[in-house]
Chain A
Amino acid sequence: MTETLAGGAALPEPTTPGAAEAPVLEARDLTKLFRVRRGLRGRGTVHAVQNVSLTLARSAVTAVVGESGSGKSTLARMLARIITPTSGELLLDGEHMPLSQRHRQQYAGRVQLVLQDPFASLNPVHSVRYHLSRPLKIHHMADGDLGGAIAALLRRVALDPPDRFIDKYPHELSGGQRQRVAIARALAVQPDVLLADEPVSMLDVSIRLGVLNLLADLRDRSRLAILYVTHDIASARYLADTIVVMYAGELVESAPSTQLTDTPAHPYTQLLLSAAPDPARAERPSLAGRGAPPSLVSPPSGCRFHPRCPHAMAVCTEQRPPSVQVSPGHSAACWLHVSDLRPAQAQPVPAAQPAPGTHATRPAGPPKED
């Protein structure tokens, strides 16, 4: 392991995003609508991602946490410009980027995406050497010594000695080694931004930390801006400097990672935390809300979480909540944190339709209000 990750060393406490470093990649109000057919004649629109703004700073890991269908992978693919956003802006080093996928190559030299499944993302008929030589050749990264450049890449992802791995085929590697090859391939173009979409969820439990530590090392030593997309809030807390929580295509909370998990401000974040496995939990959790995420074809009015929210108020059913700063660097899109509500607006609303599986709705205590 590296010096920064020697056993027992305390990790630096997360800092406010962009406090020290200017953002490398910035997304403003990104929205993605997918058109779908419903039935024979009907048409619908899936509101996959709605008005999400995000900044990725150098030497920082930003985690996007959410359930499946929350739009987190769509967001990562839009940032990689593999999916064209319906609207919004994308800025790289403060410069506006075209949203479409045309003329992507130069952009791909700065922003790289690592996918979830290393079994599917590597071509089974090609060797490690081939996988790593492609980006080096296409982006003219190693004009002289191709073999040396590949060996250096393999060393960077701790596949050492490189000779042992360079001529292997994907089926000869373990899951963790494959994911390291996929990361090495992304690093070949010397990007500034690494987008990692669930990079460890397909790996065996005992080797996940190795890959997470590799990402932390790349952040610290190569000063990469990393987007870590995951559904596992514990690993986000471990790796990330900032955690952003998505629900039903919207960004609901963002804060420095330990602050978010220790003092969650949005009821959805509280629900996620109460549901996450935690062996050290002192008492049996009571779920702060129940049911399943809504359909994105016809999302609920107002706050998309209100049908499941134990604290829903009249205003939540009508208007989208604004993003409110709860404390420095910590913001939540929730009406509970808006102080000047009229009494009619603050009228509590019972959870709309009890979702299937509701046999007992246990009221949770009110969330912390600032």
Chain B
Amino acid sequence: MSASDVAATITAEGSLAAPPVDRGEPVLEIRGLCVDYGIGDGATHAVADADLVLRRGQVLGLAGESGSGKSTLAYAATRLLREPGVITGGEVLFHSRPNSPAGAVHQDGGREGGIHSRAGTADLLELGEKELQRIRWSEISVVMQSALNALNPGISIGAQIDDVLRAHRPGLNGRARRARAVELLEMVGITGDRLGSYPHELSGGMRQRAMIAMALALEPQVVIMDEPTTALDVVTQREILEELVRLRDELGFAALFITHDLSLLIELADEIAVMYAGRLVERARSASLFQAPRHPYTYGLLNSFPPMHGARTAMIGIPGSPPDLRAVPPGCAFHPRCPHALERCSVDVPELATVPQVAPGRPGQEDSSLREVACWLHDAANPVPVPSELARPEPPDPGTPPDPGLPAAGRDTAAGAAAAGNGAAAGPVTAAGRGADPVPAEGGQTS
């Protein structure tokens, strides 16, 4: 996808979704990012031509199995990639916002100058170490999967937060830093008296909360989360995700949420990108992805999560196993596992492209949602019959995005998606019916 295409899709999205204030304006743009492990002919292509746009106030989900390159993508985009990882191409544009509420706080914090005090776009891949240091944590922060490994076991969490503030907010004195640390912990639901606790004294959930507090310490514009709740129990996971959505609504940061758990992302994220063998294969609003997947891999992945309601039906999942990145099949990497593979799938690599919209009953009417898929089944130039399960009608748009000014507004995203789900439940597609013959609509759940 060329840069002009990116611009076109952005403006299309912007005008159609009509985001109030600056929600929906891109804050992080990844274009054509390529990452290899190793150099030369023996290099493994871990990420190939990745295009992603993260918008302000948005939760963008990045889903994929282990080895699909999702974490590599995030590390490369933040320049945290370690040897032997090499970024071989692309750009990562960070659009800073100086006059944000967060920015005002920064100035109160006594910081002078620096590149964030002026608006601007920087290519993170071109920046020097010094400039990167200023952007990291204060503008883009990362929450890692294992809080136990990410936190220093020999220092109390209060001291670790203090460390961050001392390095990035030289204007704050000791008392102010301490007050801020207490405020941060309380923000994520940890009482201030825990400031002196060491990581081993906290439960897994509390450690992960402390990590989130530290990531938000400098009010970043972007938070990247790599499987932040995978090691936790479901109840703790749900609590932390609720916390996260609340904080997103309050502070207005954008989040890139990386996980293998697609069923979780559908509830959490506004938009989802699916990766397979180093390439993005589909990108859509969560409700669209869930109810009307276009890529056979997305469809198979959705069918790998047994439903919680309705009659039990046998499900197949996806035959075969994910490819080794050292020996990715030619053409579309998914073709050996794909039930609909065409001849050209084993030869040509499909590009991520806008899907010809399917709007049965309303021919000619353009669908409003932005969605892209990398699959020859949806190639506009060479149309082929599309299997019915990959040509389901788009769910209705949940409506205009919530107003960021109201605290709990962002929660509507999920409610809206759910409303869309209700709308579609009357149709032939229900969650319980996926992957099998149509079954009765899901039975009521009482809990």
Q: Which residues of A contact B (CB under 8 A)?
A: 1, 4-11, 13, 67-68, 174-177, 204-210, 213, 231, 233-235, 237-238, 257-258, 261-264, 269-285, 287-288, 290, 292-293, 356-359, 368
Q: List 24 A-B contacts (CB under 8 A).
A: A8-B314, A8-B437, A175-B321, A177-B321, A206-B317, A207-B321, A209-B306, A210-B319, A233-B308, A234-B305, A234-B307, A238-B306, A261-B308, A276-B234, A278-B308, A279-B302, A279-B305, A284-B418, A287-B238, A292-B236, A356-B203, A357-B190, A357-B205, A359-B189
- Distance to closest chain A CB from B378 (angstroms): 21
Q: Which residues of B contact A (CB under 8 A)?
A: 65-66, 188-191, 194, 203, 205-206, 209, 233-240, 242-243, 246, 260-264, 266-267, 290, 300-309, 311-319, 321-322, 411, 414-415, 418, 421-422, 430-432, 435-437, 442-447
Give the A-B contact count at a CB cut-off of 8 A.
191
Which residues of A lie under 8 Å from residue B235 when comparing CB positions?
Answer: 67, 271-272, 275, 287, 290, 292
Q: A10-B312, A275-B234 are in contact. Are A209 and B239 (CB under 8 A)?
A: no
A234 to B308, CA, bound (A): 6
A209 touches B317 (CB 8 A): yes
A239 to B307, CA, bound (A): 12
Closest residue to B412 on the A side, CB-wise?
A: A284
What 9 A-B pairs have minimum CB-CB distances, sorted nearest first?
A280-B431, A209-B317, A238-B306, A357-B189, A279-B266, A275-B238, A67-B233, A206-B318, A8-B436
Which residues of B lie under 8 Å from residue A272 when comparing CB positions?
Answer: 234-235
19 new A-B pairs (CB below 8 Å) besides A206-B318, A284-B414, A356-B206?
A4-B314, A8-B313, A204-B322, A205-B260, A213-B317, A234-B308, A261-B309, A262-B446, A263-B446, A277-B263, A278-B263, A278-B309, A280-B430, A280-B431, A282-B418, A287-B238, A287-B242, A357-B190, A357-B243
A279 touches B313 (CB 8 A): no
Which residues of B lie under 8 Å from residue A276 when comparing CB positions?
Answer: 234, 308
Which residues of B lie under 8 Å from residue A213 when comparing CB positions?
Answer: 314, 316-317
A205 to B262, CA, bound (A): 9
A122 to B302, CA, bound (A): 30
A175 to B321, CA, bound (A): 9
A235 to B234, CA, bound (A): 14
Closest residue to B276 on the A side, CB-wise?
A: A206
Closest residue to A234 on the B side, CB-wise?
A: B306
A5 to B301, CA, bound (A): 18
A48 to B435, CA, bound (A): 40
A183 to B143, CA, bound (A): 36
Among B188, B262, B307: residue with most chain A CB under 10 A: B307
B304 touches A208 (CB 8 A): yes
Closest residue to A14 on the B side, CB-wise?
A: B312
Closest residue to B314 on the A side, CB-wise?
A: A5
Which residues of B lie under 8 Å from residue A237 when comparing CB positions?
Answer: 306, 308, 312
B306 touches A280 (CB 8 A): no
Closest residue to B234 on the A side, CB-wise?
A: A275
| From B209, B237, B422, contact of A282 by CB (8 A) | B422
A206 to B240, CA, bound (A): 26
Closest residue to A275 on the B side, CB-wise?
A: B238
- Distance to closest chain B CB from A343 (angstroms): 27
Which residues of B lie under 8 Å from residue A68 when comparing CB positions?
Answer: 233
Which residues of A lie under 8 Å from residue B240 when comparing CB positions?
Answer: 357
A107 to B247, CA, bound (A): 54
A272 to B318, CA, bound (A): 27
Among A8, A263, A283: residue with most chain B CB under 10 A: A8
Closest residue to A265 on the B side, CB-wise?
A: B446
Which residues of B lie under 8 Å from residue A277 when comparing CB positions?
Answer: 234, 261, 263-264, 266-267, 305
- Distance to closest chain A CB from B248 (angstroms): 15
A284 touches B411 (CB 8 A): yes
Closest residue to B232 on the A side, CB-wise?
A: A68
- Distance to closest chain B CB from A240 (angstroms): 10
- Distance to closest chain A CB from B97 (angstroms): 28
| From A209, A278, A287, contact of B315 by CB (8 A) | A209
Q: A7-B316, A205-B260, A287-B238 are in contact. Are A280 and B432 (CB under 8 A)?
A: yes
Closest residue to A176 on the B side, CB-wise?
A: B321
A279 touches B314 (CB 8 A): no
A278 touches B267 (CB 8 A): yes
Among A175, A279, A282: residue with most chain B CB under 10 A: A279
A238 to B444, CA, bound (A): 17
A204 touches B260 (CB 8 A): yes
Closest residue to A258 on the B side, CB-wise?
A: B312
Which residues of A lie under 8 Å from residue B203 when comparing CB positions?
Answer: 292, 356
A282 to B287, CA, bound (A): 12
- Distance to closest chain A CB from B314 (angstroms): 5
Which residues of A lie under 8 Å from residue B313 when comparing CB positions?
Answer: 8-11
- Distance to closest chain B CB from A221 (angstroms): 15
- Distance to closest chain A CB from B306 (angstroms): 4
B415 touches A281 (CB 8 A): no
- Distance to closest chain A CB from B439 (angstroms): 8
Q: A284-B411, A285-B238 are in contact. Are A356 and B190 (CB under 8 A)?
A: yes
B233 touches A231 (CB 8 A): yes
Closest residue to A274 on the B side, CB-wise?
A: B447
- Distance to closest chain A CB from B86 (angstroms): 25
- Distance to closest chain A CB from B415 (angstroms): 6
A206 touches B306 (CB 8 A): no
B267 touches A7 (CB 8 A): no
Which residues of B lie under 8 Å from residue A5 when comparing CB positions?
Answer: 314, 316
Q: A8-B313, A8-B436 are in contact. Are A283 and B236 (CB under 8 A)?
A: no
A206 touches B314 (CB 8 A): no
Which residues of B lie under 8 Å from residue A278 when comparing CB positions?
Answer: 263, 267, 307-309
A208 touches B264 (CB 8 A): no
Which residues of A lie under 8 Å from residue B188 when comparing CB positions?
Answer: 357
- Distance to closest chain A CB from B30 (angstroms): 24
Which residues of A lie under 8 Å from residue B304 when comparing CB positions?
Answer: 205-206, 208-209
A279 to B303, CA, bound (A): 12
Among B233, B239, B308: residue with most chain A CB under 10 A: B308
